[in-house]
Structure 1
Amino acid sequence: MYTGRRYTALVFFKWTLRKTLWFFLIASIPTILYAFGWHFLSLPWQPVALLGTALAFSVGFKNNASYGRLWEARQIYGAIINDSRSFAFTLRDTLGGKQDETVKLMFYRHFAWLTALRFSLREFRPWENTKNRSNQNFSQGNFVIPEWQSKVEEELKQYLSDDELAYILSKKNKSTQLLATQSETLGKLKKEGVISHIEWLELQKGLTRLIDDQGKAERIKNFPYPRNFETVMTFLMYIFIFLLPFGLLKEYAALGKGTFLEDYTIWFNIPFTALIAWAFHILDTIGESSVNPFEGNPNDVPITQISRMLEIDLKDMLDDKDLPQPLAAQNGILM
């Protein structure tokens, strides 16, 4: 999550430099050839404008869908915050208070669940964008993805016993099995008469809300923005960018007729075509950078920071004095 007021122009320039240079090259070739007499290269501007209009609608639709996925992901983690807090204080007060060993065991198991969940959500998927060259170049020196800098077993070690750690690491979906272990512990407490049936039901409802939150996050992670829409729009984008300089040749050539600029206005085609192509492409790129809200881009939901914040809150409920430090933004970016 970017925490600054706005990105600077320099950041955008660096992020899109390679593609911008390509746009200048695409605009330059037909312009130079036209200036040297290849006037047959000119196309009517109307079909190009119609294609640009269709592309604008497509980009708007995609960006709207991308923001919807991003906002839904943030709502899911907002629910995880609320459901974690309510489950924690209900568990604490039901089982006998802050010093109870079972309470501490289940609190730390919840920290492990938050950790396992964020690691699974940061796993790479083939349709994601974190490995694109422009995104990799931007990330270098600006931010790191914590889940890519360590291993899940090392993180879980601080929350689980050796036996339980070995058991959880043997499972494919570690976060699901951690909640299942929580449920198993509650079942044993009910059988032993430590908690009543009503108390067990309330705590089970808390676990049910947490597994529901996890399932919603996994749905967004594992179901991409439909690739057919993305493919068609990519084709439209590059067809439009390729045809754009040809459609504007006559318009810029005629711009200076009757003035001292008559032989020079054709060269305006290069910067203005590149600018229009850049505008369409950057809007599409912004949408694509927001469409997978857990992948590890600067505009993602800050699941690492939220998990740390919850660990601080829950340890504070136990009057734990050894609280971890909140995660700070790195160059304005929270992960």
Structure 2
Amino acid sequence: MNTNSHYKLKHFIPWTRTKIYKMLILSIIPTLLFCFLGWTWLAIPWVPVALLGTATAFISGFKNTQTYNRTWEARQIYGAIINSSRAFGIMVKDFVRTNDKTEESKLHKEIIYRHFAWLTAMRFQLREIKSWENVKTRSYYREYLQYYKVPEWESSISDELKHFLSEKEFNYILSTKNRATQILATQSEHLRKFNEEGLISDYNYVALENQLKDLYDQQGKCERIKNFPYPRQFTSINLYFTNMLCFLLPLGFLGEFSKMVEKFGENIIWLAIPFSVLLGWVFLVLEQIGESTENPFEGNPNDVPITQITRNIEIDLREMIGETDLPPALQPVNNILM
């Protein structure tokens, strides 16, 4: 997530410079052929270009709206995880009770730390790279990685989980495929055990289990966004329409500016190049922005900041159980917060 008021041009222009290069090539070649080889047939009427531009603008707007909705839904889900985690922390603190306060604090810590393990497993699973994601396949993303780091790519899940789980649970969880799911299952198993031992009343036990169910619901929503890409047919048609438009734009501008030769002279033809580059860049950037928004957990600078959210939840819950040695809140690096 970018925490600045907007992207600076010194970042945005390099991020999109391949689009500028592409439009320069597409506009310079037909202009040279038109001017020096007399290929006047390259000039086409503006009407088909305008019609294609209208269709491209429509499909680009549709894609950007839908990809933004995916990102906003992902942020809403993590907002619900924040609320459910806080509620779970309060319930654990007030519902799990023993006569021995030291033992009670130990049980609270065990349950809360297991919840930290779930949050950790979740963010590592969501940062796994899928075949349709762009962050490590697109050159504009690979270059932008110099400005920020993705914590889940800098460490391993085993190094982080070992701080929150017992050795037995740690070894079991690492042997499973969906670790977040099995951590919640283990949490439920321990809550049932506490209920059988009389440490949690039946009513409170049901309330805690409902909180686990809610966490499962939020996890499932995250997995739906992560594991189901923006439909490839819409991605493809947007890409095809945009590229066709960029190819025809210089030809349409040649047609328009050739009509002005008698009034302004032959040099006016060269204006086809900057106008084509500018308008083509607009459409190509719209396509690139939609592409950079469609996968809100992939590790790009426009992601939902799940690492920072997880750290804030950890700080809140540690304070709830009386800890004072708290981890620091994550701060933006070059205005990027992961």
Question: Does TM, scored on the shorter chain, surpass 0.5?
Answer: yes
Q: TM-score, normalised by structure 2?
A: 0.96
Q: CA deviation at 1:193?
A: 1.6
User: SS of the residue aligned with 2:337?
Assistant: coil
- Superposed CA deviations along residues 242-299 of structure 1, whole A, max 9, x for unmatched, are 111111102122335324xx11111010011011110001011111101110111111
Partner residue, 1:180? 185
Partner residue, 1:289? 292
Partner residue, 1:70? 71
Q: Is the 8 A contact 1:153 1:169 kept in 2?
A: yes
Q: Is the 8 A contact 2:19 2:285 kept in 1?
A: no
Matched, 1:269 2:272: yes
Partner residue, 1:122? 127
Which of 200, 203, 207 lines up with 2:208 in the alignment? 203
Output aligned runs, 1:3-22, within 5 Å.
Answer: 3-22=3-22
Q: Is the 8 A contact 1:14 1:138 kept in 2?
A: no
Partner residue, 1:109? 114
Distance, in Å, in 1 between the alignment partners of 2:120 and 2:208 is: 21
What amino acid does structure 2 have at the position aligned with 1:280? F
Partner residue, 1:28? 28
Matched, 1:137 2:140: no
Partner residue, 1:46? 47
What amino acid does structure 2 have at the position aligned with 1:134? Y
Q: CA deviation at 1:177?
A: 0.4
Partner residue, 1:158? 163
What amino acid does structure 2 have at the position aligned with 1:31? T
Distance, in Å, in 2 between the alignment partners of 1:123 and 1:138 is: 19
Segments of 4+ in structure 1 off by > 6 A? none
- What residue ranges of structure 2 are gaps of 5+ in the alignment? none
- Superposed CA deviations along residues 223-247 of structure 1, whole A, max 9, x for unmatched, are 1100011111111111111111111
- Superposed CA deviations along residues 17-62 of structure 1, whole A, max 9, x for unmatched, are 1221121011000011111211011111111110110000000000
Moved more, 175-184 or 29-38: 29-38
Output aligned runs, 1:216-295, within 5 Å.
Answer: 216-259=221-264, 262-295=265-298
- Superposed CA deviations along residues 146-168 of structure 1, whole A, max 9, x for unmatched, are 10111101110111111110000
What amino acid does structure 2 have at the position aligned with 1:77? Y
Q: CA deviation at 1:102?
A: 1.2
Distance, in Å, in 2 between the alignment partners of 1:219 and 1:92 is: 32
Partner residue, 1:92? 93
- What residue ranges of structure 1 are gaps of 5+ in the alignment? none
- Superposed CA deviations along residues 192-223 of structure 1, whole A, max 9, x for unmatched, are 12111101101001111111110001100001
Moved more, 94-103 or 321-330: 94-103
Which of 307, 327, 334 lines up with 1:331 in the alignment? 334
Q: Is the 8 A contact 1:31 1:245 kept in 2?
A: yes
- Superposed CA deviations along residues 127-160 of structure 1, whole A, max 9, x for unmatched, are 11101111110111x0011101111011101111
Q: TM-score, normalised by structure 1?
A: 0.97
Q: Is the 8 A contact 1:2 1:299 kept in 2?
A: yes
What amino acid does structure 1 have at the position aligned with 2:94? D
Q: Is the 8 A contact 1:115 1:152 kept in 2?
A: yes
Moved more, 109-118 or 11-20: 11-20
User: SS of the residue aligned with 2:51?
Assistant: helix
- Superposed CA deviations along residues 168-205 of structure 1, whole A, max 9, x for unmatched, are 00000000000001100011111112111101101001
User: SS of the residue aligned with 2:263?
Assistant: coil
What amino acid does structure 1 have at the position aligned with 2:263? G
Q: Is the 8 A contact 1:69 1:291 kept in 2?
A: yes
- Superposed CA deviations along residues 81-134 of structure 1, whole A, max 9, x for unmatched, are 000000111111111378521110010000010000000000001111101111
Q: What is the root-mean-square deviation in Å for CA atoms of aligned residues? A: 1.1
Partner residue, 2:83? 82
